[in-house]
Amino acid sequence: MPCDEWCRLLERYRSAVNRYNEAANNLGLVPGREFNAAWQRAEQARKGAENCRADLLHHEHEHACLVGAGQPEVHYGIYDVDTEEFILGDQGQSGG
């Protein structure tokens, strides 16, 4: 069962990803001279989302609050879904 801290970190990560999504979507809406500033905002939002994701994964591995009953400790997941793969998405996959 996820602990309160994991839930807080997940919500923090979701918010950061939403900020990044909004910043990235705005890149196509700004005129030429304002693009650099918009790009910097998107980069800051991306880095913020990466940091939040790292905090969430670190908590999962350190606290092991998502380890299911009877599962080995190396598997971190909730409801038989490996949350690290879910969070990484395509980033964690190799090949093309």
**Rounded Cα distance, 52 and 50, in Å:** 5
Query: What integer pLDDT is reported at residue 14 of this predicted model?
Result: 96
pLDDT of residue 63: 82
In a domain, 66, yes or no: yes
Domain that holds residue 30: 4-88
The pLDDT of residue 66: 74
At a CB cut-off of 8 Å and minimum separation 6, what does 73 contact?
A: 64, 67
Q: Tell me, yes or no, whether 33 lies in a domain.
A: yes
Residue 52 lies in a domain: yes
> Mind listing the pLDDT tens digit for each residue in 19-78?
999 999 999 888 888 999 999 999 999 999 999 999 999 998 888 887 654 444 544 445
Residue 94 lies in a domain: no
| Strands, E assignment, the chain | 77-78, 81-82
